[in-house]
Structure 1
């Protein structure tokens, strides 16, 4: 007998991706429920070769479900995740609502799988920010080998990280520039077509954006609180796939060749790095893949024990849906969840 799984926010970009990944990975589920708001009641979504009709969140009985994969935004999660968890259903939340709660583990399975056991305090597990997830997958094996002191990261984040409306805005603006007039920005603060915007989430008192703060806080919680990290997060006119230029300062020496060898053996990482043959990965090449790709590994002579690298991943997958499913798989593989009777 398999598990019962509910996807809350099944009509959104990440919710649909969760359903696709559950099917691709043959997740051991006997029942999969697509859950959405009342206005989406009856909307059809794909799950493998099946079609599921969305059910109403407010009417659904979570007491018979083992896993709730939550992808419906922070405000809804703050209201509903504790209520669902109280029914004995383990919530794995993709929003920022629970990431910084000391009683909620923040998990990237390739990095801190052991921490997943802490879910029993609230019956909630948090999924990190998309830009953080791919970064820590690349940093973890290097940190284990040489100890990371400081990270400087500049991100080039696709519009899908801001949802379907953001993807639509990029499309309509791009089309409008060639056909008529580009419509005014609605989702973004500036035109996104043929432009880049150094502004993701709200600005904070120190001049950083909330997205930049998230990367710092989440890297410390997931990987090591002693690591110092500073980020500049930029939205770029790419539909899917986040890229990051990463500068790392280590406690011990680390050559580029050593880093390549370490990363080639690391879980979740694929190294594509032969610049003399133009071998490196761009966002368009990572779409639909599970891996975090690392390219352009090179030593930084301007600091002691410094290294630069380029990191690319499908943000809807490793940055959201895939990581959520991997967390559920980790819980199952470690025997941490008792299946409910059919």
Structure 2
């Protein structure tokens, strides 16, 4: 038994990745409809061995759609997600539009799949920020074992998190430097090629950026509101995959060896942690993989019950498209989704 799935924003980086992952995981699809703006109408996208033409969002009838995967930005989601849900489709939204709504569950299936039941209030489920998703996958099993008190995280985020224009800017700047063409920043506030920028999203009154605020607020909503967390978000000249240097303080004692064993058994986690050159994962190796990789697990002797670690994941997959598809799979596995009559 298959389902009718719509993908809004099918021509974007994440939308195309959603199509790839639906095909890779053999999601039970009877019909898949790629949707985009009017200017992208007719654009061809790949789904498995098929080539599909995009239809327009504003003229599409969702009444026979089971799931709508949204990846078209916050403003479009604010306008369209309630309309789509009102027609009976369950919306899984990748933007930040609904993450902080108390009536919309914010889901990472390996962490809080039970909270999916809350979708019935508005017919919408939110996907977290890409940095938050990989962070909580690693924190959850450790929190269950020793109760996390405080987290300090510095993110090293790839340019793909800012979209195709950002990837093009890194590519063009890198090429330009080799021919002595001084790069002109457009998408970013400063040059991104051969540089790092401690600034993602807008600055807030307290000095944090909106990206840092997202990680702090979303971790509390998904995992535990009692956890104290501070974040510094940095953009780095990497095309795909986000990295995080994470320091964790626990209520109970936990050794690096215990943490390593726990994470090896945890869903979605893959520990690569040899104390030798190359015995860790970098964003280059994580690209294209579904796992959240954890390396450099060690004890922090500056606090009682402290650990430090390195977390890497493909932000277009686990941070966005894969997580959305996993949410859809959870809806089916938990019996929330019944196929509509054709």
TM-score (normalizing by structure 2): 0.99
Counterparts in 2 of 1:230-249, with a 5 A limit?
Answer: 230-249=230-249
1:286: which partner in 2? Answer: 286
1:44: which partner in 2? Answer: 44
1:64 Cα offset (Å): 1.1
1:191 Cα offset (Å): 0.5
Counterparts in 2 of 1:182-261, with a 5 A limit?
Answer: 182-261=182-261
CA distance in 2, matches of 1:237, 1:277: 22
Q: Per-residue displacement from partner, 1:161-185 (whole Å, max 9, x unpaired)? A: 0000000000000001112414311
Q: Is the 8 A contact 1:146 1:250 kept in 2?
A: yes
Is the deviation greater in 187-196 or in 269-278? 269-278
Residue 58 of structure 2 corresponds to residue 58 of structure 1: yes
Secondary structure of residue in 1 paired with 2:102: coil
1:32: which partner in 2? Answer: 32
Q: Is the 8 A contact 1:272 1:281 kept in 2?
A: yes
2:159: which partner in 1? Answer: 159
Structure 1 stretches of 5 or more lacking a match? none
Secondary structure of residue in 2 paired with 1:224: coil
CA distance in 2, matches of 1:278, 1:11: 36
Number of equivalenced pairs: 342
Q: Is the 8 A contact 1:159 1:238 kept in 2?
A: yes
Runs of 4+ in 1 over 6 A off after TM superposition: none
Q: Per-residue displacement from partner, 1:261-297 (whole Å, max 9, x unpaired)? A: 0000000000000023531000000011000000000
1:324 Cα offset (Å): 0.2
1:305: which partner in 2? Answer: 305
1:333: which partner in 2? Answer: 333
1:75: which partner in 2? Answer: 75
Structure 2 stretches of 5 or more lacking a match? none
CA distance in 2, matches of 1:185, 1:150: 36
Secondary structure of residue in 1 paired with 2:232: strand
Counterparts in 2 of 1:86-165, with a 5 A limit?
Answer: 86-165=86-165
Q: Is the 8 A contact 1:172 1:182 kept in 2?
A: no
CA distance in 1, matches of 2:187, 2:251: 42
CA RMSD of aligned residues (A): 0.7
Q: Per-residue displacement from partner, 1:304-335 (whole Å, max 9, x unpaired)? A: 00000000000000000000000000000000
Secondary structure of residue in 2 paired with 1:62: coil
CA distance in 2, matches of 1:296, 1:278: 11
Secondary structure of residue in 2 paired with 1:98: coil
Is the deviation greater in 66-75 or in 277-286? 277-286
Is the deviation greater in 147-156 or in 174-183? 174-183
1:339 Cα offset (Å): 1.1
1:139 Cα offset (Å): 0.1
Secondary structure of residue in 1 paired with 2:276: helix
CA distance in 1, matches of 2:179, 2:160: 23
CA distance in 1, matches of 2:108, 2:179: 44
Q: Per-residue displacement from partner, 1:82-136 (whole Å, max 9, x unpaired)? A: 0000000000000000000000000000000000010000000000000000000
CA distance in 2, matches of 1:275, 1:171: 33
Secondary structure of residue in 1 paired with 2:156: strand
TM-score (normalizing by structure 1): 0.99
Q: Is the 8 A contact 1:174 1:182 kept in 2?
A: no
CA distance in 2, matches of 1:314, 1:6: 23
CA distance in 2, matches of 1:186, 1:76: 24
